[in-house]
A and B are shown apart, each in its own frame.
Chain A
Amino acid sequence: MTKEYKGVYTFAEQVDGELTGVSLELLGKAGDLAADLDTDVTAILLGKDVADLAKVLVEFGADRVILYENDELELYTTEPYTQVVAAIIEEYKPEILLIGATAIGRDLGPRIAGRVHTGLTADCTKLDIQEESKNLLMTRPAFGGNLMAEILCENHRPQMATVRPGVMVRKIREENRTGEIINFDYELERNNKFVTVEEVIKQTKSKIEIQDADILISGGRGLGGPENFAILQDLAEAIGGEVSGSRAAVDSGWIDKDVQVGQTGKTVRPTLYFAIGISGAIQHMAGMEESDYIIAINKDPNALIFNVADVGIVGDLFEIVPKLTESIKAERAKQD
C-alpha cells in the first residue's frame, strides 16, 4: 500500500510573498533524500499572487512546483492551507513531506497528518533514508534536548517531518535551472473550521531573548570597554547572531544584564557560541557549555575557556574578529 507513494515533497512556506529560509533549506535536504530514493523533488507553494516564487524554488532544487493561488490564502490560517495540502497529498501521493518547524509549519503539519492519517515527527534535526527498507529515518531531540530519538513511520504515507530552521543546508542557487510548474485545481470548501483574522500586529523590533538565539557572539573582560562591543555587533550581523556577554562585561557596565550568560545570568545552548575575550570562569561556563559548537578567541593560551571550546584560537581578538567578519560576509555573498 505504501508502494504507490512516490517523490519527496516540501511545503514552501511564504510570508508576505517571501519564502522563509527554511523553505529553501528543505529543498536542499529533499534533494539528498530524493537522490537516495531515485526520485525527484516537488515543492508545494500556496498563497495569493505567489507564482513568481515558483521559479525561485526551482532554482534552489525543486524539480516540480505544485502551485495553488487563492485570495483566501493571503494570510496563513489553518483550515484552508490544510485542505489544499491534504488534497494535493490525495492526488499526488508523496512518499515524504517535509515542512519547516516554524510557527506556521508546526500548526499546519499536525493538522495535515491528522487529516490524512499518517505519522508526523516534530522538529527533526537529521533525516536519512534507511538502507534496506528505504524508510525515512527521522532524528529529533527530546527531553529538553537531553536525549535524541530516531523515529520511523513504516506503514503510513506520506512520512511527514517538520524540520528545525537553520539545520539543513540550502543548495547553491542555479539561475537557469528548469522545472515543471503545475497549477493545482481545487475548490476550497468553506466549513466550520474557517476563522477570521481581524488584525495583523507586526513586531517592529522584537526584543531578543538570548536563549532563543541560534548564534551568540559573547564578549568578556578582554574587550576592554563598551565601545569595542561594536566589532562583536558587526560579526553578529554578518553571521546572523546576537551579542551577549560575561559577568565581567556586565559588571563593568559595558552591556545589559539582560544579555548576560552564566550561572547568575542566563543559560544558553545555541547552535554556535563565540566566546571572545572571555577567560572561562566556571560560573560563565555553567551557562554556555552545552552550546552545540563553541569557538573561543583569547590571547591567553592557558585560558580555561579552551577546555570547553570545540575550536580555540589563541590570538588578538581585535585583529581576528574584524577580519573574520569580512570573510563571513564574503562567504555569504558567494552563496547568495
Chain B
Amino acid sequence: MNIVVCVKQVPDTNEVRIDPVKGTLIREGVPSIMNPDDKAGLEAALRIKDKTGAKVSVITMGPLQAEEILREALAMGADDVYLVTDRAFGGADTWATSSTLAGAISKLDYDLIITGRQAIDGDTAQVGPETAEHLDLPNISYAQEIEVDGDEVVVLRQYDDRSHRVRAKLPVLVTALSELNKPRYMTPGGIFDAYREKEVVQWVREDIPVEDENIGLSGSPTRVSKSFPKAVKEPGMKIEEGVEESVQFIVDKLKETYIL
C-alpha cells in the first residue's frame, strides 16, 4: 500500500506579534514549523505503516528551506520525500496550489492521500478537497480516526455537532485534524539517517505535469488586493448611570455591533 502525505511549512502563528508602533506584522524570529494538522496526517500514515508496512511518501510545495520539514518527516519515519519548488509556482492561491500538488502526486503511486485539514497561516481548508477534485478522487474531510480495511478506508469524520463514520473504496484523499493523534518525536537514528542517508527529491516546473494556466500567480483565480493588520484598539467608553440606562446602553451597543 502506498500513502502520500502533503505537508506545509508554516510560520508558528502563535509566535507572530504585531509591532505596536507601526501596526505591522513582525515576522523576524518567528520559527517555521510543520503545520500541525499535516503533522497529525503524517503520524496517521506512519501508524498505518507500522501496522501494514505501507510505504509513506511525503510531498511539500514551497521555497528551498521547506526541505527542513521534509527532513523532519524522514526522521519521523517517512520513506521518501519530495520538494516541489520553482518560482513559477509562487504566489499561488488554493486553486493553483492544488492543481500543482495534484500534478506532483500523479507522478507517484498512491492508494491513500492524507493532507492536513488546514494550515495555520491561511486557515482555508481548501487545498485538500481541491486536490482531490483535480485527481478525480473522493475526499473525506476532518478525520478524527483513519483506519484501512482491505481496499477500503474507514474514517470518523467530524461535523459541528456530530461525527459520521464514512467508508470509501481506495484511492481516497483524507484531510486530518490535529486532534487525530499525538505525533511521534524524531529519533536520533532517524535524524542521522534523514540528513546523511536519505535524499530529498527536488521537482521543478518541468517535472510537474500541469498546464501553465493552472499554476502560480497567473493561474490563480483569486488575488489579494490588500492586506492590513487588524485595527489597534482605541480606548473605549465608560458610563456611570442608573441600572435602566446602563442596560439600554449595552443593548444599543450590541445592536450596533450586530451581535443582537
Which A residues have a C-beta under 8 Å from some C-beta of B?
Answer: 15, 75-79, 102-104, 106-107, 109-111, 113-115, 117-123, 137, 141-156, 167, 169, 192-203, 206, 215, 239, 271-272, 289, 293-295, 297, 301, 306-316, 319-320, 323-324, 327-328, 331-332, 335
Contact = CB atoms under 8 A, between A and B. Distances in A.
A119 B139 contact: no
Contacts of B140: 78, 195
B126 A311 contact: no
20 contacts: A78-B140, A107-B125, A107-B142, A110-B124, A111-B130, A114-B130, A119-B95, A122-B94, A144-B120, A144-B121, A146-B17, A148-B230, A150-B227, A195-B172, A201-B163, A289-B233, A295-B253, A312-B236, A319-B243, A323-B244
Contact of B226 (A120, A143, A149, A335): A149
Which 10 pairs between the two chains have the least Cβ-Cβ distance?
A119-B221, A114-B133, A144-B13, A119-B222, A312-B238, A110-B126, A122-B124, A310-B236, A314-B240, A195-B168
A81 to B, nearest CB: 12
Contacts of A310: 233, 236-237, 253
B164 A117 contact: no
A86 to B, nearest CB: 10
B129 A114 contact: yes
Contacts of A331: 251, 255, 260
B95 A313 contact: no
B204 interface: no
B29 to A, nearest CB: 15
B162 A202 contact: yes
A198 B129 contact: no
Given A111-B130, A144-B14, A193-B138, A152 B163 contact: no
B126 A120 contact: yes
Contacts of A153: 221-223
Given A113-B95, A195-B138, A143 B25 contact: yes
